[in-house]
Every structure is written in C-alpha cells, then in structure tokens.
C-alpha cells in the first residue's frame, strides 16, 4: 500500500521538486525543478529511484515528517543533522524510518538546500508533466505546511548501492563562468571590466527565482528602454540598481533589463548552495 508522509514541521521553505517543466517558456511557464539537480539525482540513485523522481527541497531550516508505514529515505545536498525518533541517523546514505517514527531533517551546517528523497518518490499529482513547485507561476503543489500529507510512490526493487557517493561541499567562494550576453553592448567599458574583476557577495534577498548579489554597481551605457525579451536559465540580468542577478529555475520567461552574460547550467548547482554572504566572482569561460 502507499506510504503517506505527514508533515510535522514544514520548515522555512520546503517544496516538492523534480526535473521541472522544460519546453513551456512560450506559455510563460518557467522550468522550475530542483536547484541542485545533481544532489537530487544522487539521492534518488541511492534509493534505486528514477533519477527524476520527485523529492523534497528544504531551505536552511530543514523539515520533519512522520510516515504511516516503514520507508527508506536519503537526505543529501546541504549537510545537516538527521534524526529518526530522536536518534542520530546517517546523512547522505539510505536510512530506514519505521512506521510512526519522526524523521527530522535539521538546519543546514553549510550550504542552503537539503534534499529528502523517499523510496518510490514523492507522488503528488503532476502538472504539465512535472510535480515541481513553481514559486513564480504558482504551478505544482504549494510549499509544505504543517499537517500536509504526501503520498510516496511504489519503490523499485532493491538495487546495489553505489560503492561511493561523492556529495560536493557547498562553495566557500562561488566562481561562476560566464559567456557574453546578448546585451553586453548596453554597458560601459568600465562596467564590463568590473563585472569580471569585482568581488560580489550573495544577497539575503536571493531566492529560487534568482541569486541576487551585493557589490559594485554596473553602469548602463544606454539610457534607452529595452523592450521585454525572452530570458534563459542562467541569464545574468542587470537591473537599474546595477547589481547582477543570476536567474535560477523559477525565473521569469521574459524581462526588460539587459542581460550582460549567461552562466552555463552545470555551474548553477553551486549557486543553489551558496549561502548569504558567500563571495561571488564572475569569470570569463
């Protein structure tokens, strides 16, 4: 029978995530999905799940769940303490949670986002082919609240666990490779030099829509108005305050501020784990 997971503690922001909804930007729907996709895939792999199975993405403070039947889980991504019925349990490896026991995913000790995978995946209903919560458009399940009940899917037959499970450490410094954006000509030469030489920090106003930065303002060369145009995952937009904003998975599909550069998707997982105040550098690449 289906395992049901009752939310005992929802945490600051816990959402259901999978690989998202690519291919719907023309409808104004962002991709969404897990910000640290490698962490999601590894947690699923350790359980024998499909790599794209839905998981829970927590933010800083973790969450706590109580299953009505025994279930196996993996907590990975940002390091954090894990307990089952009040007793310490493994982080980054499969853990058996008995029926009625509380699984507590604690506050991160580094990084930002932890991932809780359950055997069989989180089986909420899909929307446009995905179970992901999209904070911008409102598609998918709402962020978790205390008392919510989540169904788990049917577990796959047990598979041999990988010999090693390398979990990357959250970045002490976020170094983002950038390629020139479509509107680099909207910036002064001094601004273009500063963009790849100045030191920035992760702003506390960052979220799943975009990683905002604090640091030197970049000056526009043009005083005109840019028509709204399509935005891609990893775009680095410069709003009027001059501080770079890196678009993440819940980003708007159009925007009217110039894009100075684009960060390749493989580099975005580290951005998902960069805590407030982490130094940020944009480097040509």
The boundaries of the domain holding residue 196 are 174-284
In this prediction, residue 106 carries a pLDDT of 98
Which pLDDT does position 161 carry in this prediction?
Answer: 63
Average pLDDT score over residue span 93-99: 96
Asked if the structure places residue 135 within a domain, the reply is yes
Report the pLDDT value the prediction gives residue 23, as an integer from 0 to 100. 87
* Domain co-membership, 131 together with 269: no
Query: What pLDDT is attached to residue 27?
Result: 82
124 and 56, same structural domain?
yes
pLDDT class for 87, splitting at 50, 70, 90?
A: very high
Query: What are the tens digits of pLDDT across the range 25-69?
Result: 888 888 999 999 999 999 999 999 999 999 999 999 999 999 999
Please give the tally of structural domains in the chain: 2
Does 165 reside within a domain?
Answer: no
Verify that 185 and 114 share a domain, yes or no: no
DSSP secondary structure letter of residue 183: T
Looking at the structure, tell me whether residues 116 and 245 fall in a common domain.
Answer: no
Residues in the chain: 285
Q: Would the CA dihedral through 262, 17, 230, 220 be positive or negative?
A: negative
- Its pTM stands at 0.95
Cα angle, residue 121 at apex, residues 116 and 126 outer, rounded to 5°: 115
Rounded-to-integer distance, Cα 113 and Cα 116, Å: 10
74 SS3 class: strand
Q: Is there a single domain that holds both residue 124 and residue 195?
A: no
Residues 9 and 143 placed together within one structural domain of the fold: yes
Residue 54 within any structural domain of the chain: yes
Indicate if 127 and 67 belong to the same structural domain. Answer: yes
Q: pLDDT tens digit string along 182-235?
A: 998 899 999 999 999 999 999 999 999 999 999 999 998 877 778 888 899 999
Give domain status of residue 51, yes or no.
yes
Q: How confident is the model at residue 162 (pLDDT cuts 50, 70, 90)?
A: low
Residues 11 and 128 in one domain: yes
Residue that the structure tokens 């601004």 belong to: 191
The verdict on 11 and 136 lying in the same domain is: yes
Residue 273 belongs to a domain with what CATH number? 2.40.100.10
């Amino acid at each position: 029978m289906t395992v049901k997971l009752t939310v005992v503690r929802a945490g600051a922001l816990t959402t259901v995530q999978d690989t998202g909804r690519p291919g719907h930007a023309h409808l104004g729907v962002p991709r969404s999905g897990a910000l640290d996709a490698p962490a999601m895939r590894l947690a699923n792999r350790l359980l024998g799940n499909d790599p794209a199975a839905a998981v829970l993405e927590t933010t800083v403070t973790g969450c706590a769940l109580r299953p009505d039947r025994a279930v196996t889980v993996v907590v990975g991504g940002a390091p954090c303490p894990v307990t089952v019925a009040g007793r310490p349990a493994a982080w980054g490896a499969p853990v058996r949670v008995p029926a009625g026991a509380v699984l507590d995913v604690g506050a991160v000790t580094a990084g930002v986002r932890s991932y809780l995978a359950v055997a069989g995946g989180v089986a909420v209903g899909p929307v446009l082919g995905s179970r992901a919560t999209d904070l911008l458009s409102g598609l998918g399940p709402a962020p978790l609240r205390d008392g919510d009940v989540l169904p788990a899917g049917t577990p796959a037959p047990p598979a041999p666990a990988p010999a090693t499970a390398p979990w990357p450490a959250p970045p002490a410094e976020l170094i983002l490779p950038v390629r020139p954006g479509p509107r680099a000509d909207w910036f002064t030469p001094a601004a273009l030099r500063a963009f790849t030489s100045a030191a920035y920090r992760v702003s506390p106003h960052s979220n799943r829509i975009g990683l905002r930065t604090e640091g030197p303002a970049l000056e526009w060369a043009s005083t005109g108005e840019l028509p709204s145009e399509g935005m891609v995952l990893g775009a680095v937009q410069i709003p009027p305050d001059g501080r770079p904003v890196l678009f993440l998975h819940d980003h708007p599909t159009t925007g009217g501020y110039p894009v100075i550069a684009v960060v390749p998707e493989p580099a975005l997982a580290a951005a998902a784990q960069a805590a407030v105040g982490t130094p940020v550098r944009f480097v040509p690449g």
